[in-house]
A and B are shown apart, each in its own frame.
Chain A
């Protein structure tokens, strides 16, 4: 009895925060839960497989095995024009693509969140200045400019690619966080904290930020999917990762040769389908999270 009372009191004193509500809702959506578990297991399996795999062995050129068909000579998914095992390349490529997308999401996320909260909390000149900058970035033909920048950088590698894409990807998060922080900053608890003399930093990152957690998890999931798309797209066009570092995009890039596209489907199709599965899975989870975070669409 006492135990129950205690629990009731505890429940009343701390209502479930944003992220708990989202998770509770999310658990009710069977298909979303299924795709979440599926996509997480897939990503973990790919990362572990890439660790075990002998990269040098996979990327060794064996001209005799040129365009080996799938299933022949122990090549599960065949070989490319240089006789490299496609299955191994697929795993390494997927690992690279996923890690790059995660890095971009994390860096752009942190930058966007920090900037957005500062803009929304302080308002005034800082807010105006950065809103102008964001508006400018939003109207840029981003893809073209990334391509131009990529060709300029002299020493070009994975880290440079991550940074270049990040420069053009923080605006969405910043804008979203800013608008939420703006309305959150007018709430009573913020005024109360101010009167008690809490520092601005604490109010922003310990007071306001946790209340934005539910929309942030949605935003970051969807931008993760978007970043997989951007990296693979750039690599596909030949402006992403260098060919020596396989990514899902560079594997699909082989399809730009009409002969490979029409006859050697095993070189490009598995990577395309893997991109497709990743995009569908991550986006589905993101949309389900969005439904869960939106009070109007709750399942109950």
Chain B
């Protein structure tokens, strides 16, 4: 078990290496350089040249890559040219926002998906089941940005139930209860949107798992012992079907990351996805490379996590 996990982790190293090389070369090809933004009529051209030389702009690319990767391994991704602070500080700040959003979304995903999946499986072929299947189909087919915009329009602008951007209202004292409630309040609409989009696979998996369980011997045994069907569902079948659902956690994380770019941009939420879009716009490539690396790493980690949970839950599945 530990051996296979270790092997998987070691396999991530060449993958991350190729990704880093790939993204570094891409970032170097981006038109303009970060200093073009600094040029004003008063700037001395020689000063810009000096800055370029200082930043190693004219070194061969492998030298630049070597500097970048050795620093990156120590957590130093350089300086953001637009925000004038260290990239790691910037991403840490934004990442924390994305983390809270993802956490709330993941909780909501499971809160929505588990009851729906259970009900659909239990009342198979009923009207309820068909409505749940329809819901999960729509949430599968609808593009993230369309749902987000429609929700923002209806609940944010028309009904005014939720704030339309930001993480917290101005003028609230940090640390107070009101402050934290206000933060959660800001998180709610994007998190609900996220959660609705993320439920499909869990509902479908849970539903078919429960339908399969119905004919299992342990259910018959429980029934013949005289346990009411309601209890068989809530105790026996539920517990057996729930474990594999845990394995979806990894996929949920990966899915959340993919949606972050759209959701954060639309809801004006200052997280990593939003940061990525604005960095690409302003050619802030130290931030871009760091974010792509981080997302690539987290995607790998998510699928590894799923595989590990799966093999713990179901020993028949061995990862290799």
A interface residues, Cβ below 8 angstroms from B: 136, 139-141, 143-145, 147-149, 151-152, 154, 225, 229, 232-233, 236-239, 252, 255-256, 258, 261-262, 265, 268-269, 272, 275-276, 279-280, 283-284, 287
Cβ contact of B299, chosen from A139, A147, A272, A284, cutoff 8 A: A139
CB distance from A122 to the nearest CB of B (A): 23
29 cross-chain CB contacts under 8 A:
A139-B15, A139-B300, A139-B303, A140-B299, A141-B295, A143-B258, A144-B261, A145-B23, A147-B276, A148-B280, A148-B288, A149-B26, A152-B26, A152-B29, A232-B143, A252-B145, A252-B149, A255-B149, A258-B164, A258-B165, A261-B153, A262-B153, A262-B158, A269-B150, A272-B146, A279-B143, A279-B146, A280-B137, A280-B138
Q: With A and B bound together, what is the CA distance between A279 and B139 in angstroms?
A: 11
**For B262, what are the chain A residues with a Cβ–Cβ distance below 8 Å?**
233, 236-237
Cβ contact within 8 Å between A275 and B146: yes
Chain B interface residue count, Cβ-Cβ cutoff 8 angstroms: 46
Instruction: Decide if B152 is an interface residue (CB 8 Å cutoff).
Output: yes
**For B157, what are the chain A residues with a Cβ–Cβ distance below 8 Å?**
261-262
CB distance from A130 to the nearest CB of B (A): 15
Q: With A and B bound together, what is the CA distance between A255 and B280 in angstroms?
A: 20
- Given the known interface contacts A141-B296, A145-B26, A283-B140, the answer about A154 and B31 at a Cβ–Cβ threshold of 8 Å is yes
**For A154, what are the chain B residues with a Cβ–Cβ distance below 8 Å?**
31
B interface residues, Cβ below 8 angstroms from A: 15, 18-19, 22-23, 26-27, 29-31, 137-138, 140-146, 149-150, 152-153, 157-158, 164-165, 257-258, 261-262, 265-266, 276-277, 280-281, 283, 288, 291-292, 295-296, 299-300, 303
Q: With A and B bound together, what is the CA distance between A290 and B299 in angstroms?
A: 28
CB distance from B190 to the nearest CB of A (A): 15
**For A139, what are the chain B residues with a Cβ–Cβ distance below 8 Å?**
15, 296, 299-300, 303
Q: With A and B bound together, what is the CA distance between A160 and B267 in angstroms?
A: 30
Cβ contact within 8 Å between A272 and B18: no
Cβ contact of A268, chosen from B23, B27, B140, B149, cutoff 8 A: B149
Q: With A and B bound together, what is the CA distance between A180 and B194 in angstroms?
A: 34
Q: Which residue of B lies closest to A148 (CB)?
A: B26
CB distance from A164 to the nearest CB of B (A): 12
Cβ contact of B137, chosen from A145, A252, A284, cutoff 8 A: A284
Cβ contact within 8 Å between A152 and B30: yes
